[in-house]
Amino acid sequence: MSTAADYVKQNSTFSLRYTGQFTRQRRKQVVDPYDPDTATLGDWTDTDDIQVNGALASLTSTEQDDAVRSEVLSTAQFVSDNPNLDVRRGDRLLASDGRKWNVVGYPTHDVNAFTGWQPTIVCNLEEVTG
């Protein structure tokens, strides 16, 4: 007789069927010219990029208008069926429609407590325009 964990390992082909392609950008570390023992993050013009697949689920979008500027703050969640995806806090995801999403907080790698199954990675995203 097999356990639920054995069943999941042998019969589970979990995958997200309808995903999009994103570019994960990570700023490179640069040496601080005033303190050579310390590295800081560079700017977004020089990044390490990889292609990742996942689904974007929109959460909220609010707009604030005043006499000086108009700002839109949007939040979303990015879900990938590759739990080992190299995405972390501070990265940026570029969507195919040109939107730039910042990864805020730590991505979660949920694990089933009974089987150890780890199907996804979930990242909270934020976009500020204006």
Q: Which DSSP letter does residue 28 get?
A: P
Low-confidence ranges of the chain (pLDDT < 70): 1-13
32: which 2 tokens? 């601080």
> Cα separation of 48 and 41, whole Å?
12
- The predicted pLDDT at position 92 comes to 97
Tell me which fold the domain 4-9+19-129 belongs to.
Thrombin, subunit H (2.40.10)
Q: Is residue 40 within 8 Å of residue 29, measured between CB atoms?
A: yes
Residue environment code for 82-108, b if the CB has 16+ CB neighbours within 10 A, otherwise e: bbebebeeebbbbbeeeeebbbeeebe
Beta pairing, strands 29-32 & 121-129? unpaired
What's the Cα-to-Cα distance from 45 to each of 26, 65, 98, rounded to whole Å?
10, 29, 16
- Report the C-alpha gap between 55 and 86 in whole angstroms: 16
Task: Quote the pLDDT of residue 48.
Answer: 94
Provide the whole-model pTM: 0.80
Domain residue spans of the chain:
4-9+19-129
What does the alpha-carbon distance between residue 48 and residue 9 come to, in Å, rounded to a whole number? 34
Res 1: pLDDT = 45
Would you state the pLDDT for residue 16? Answer: 82
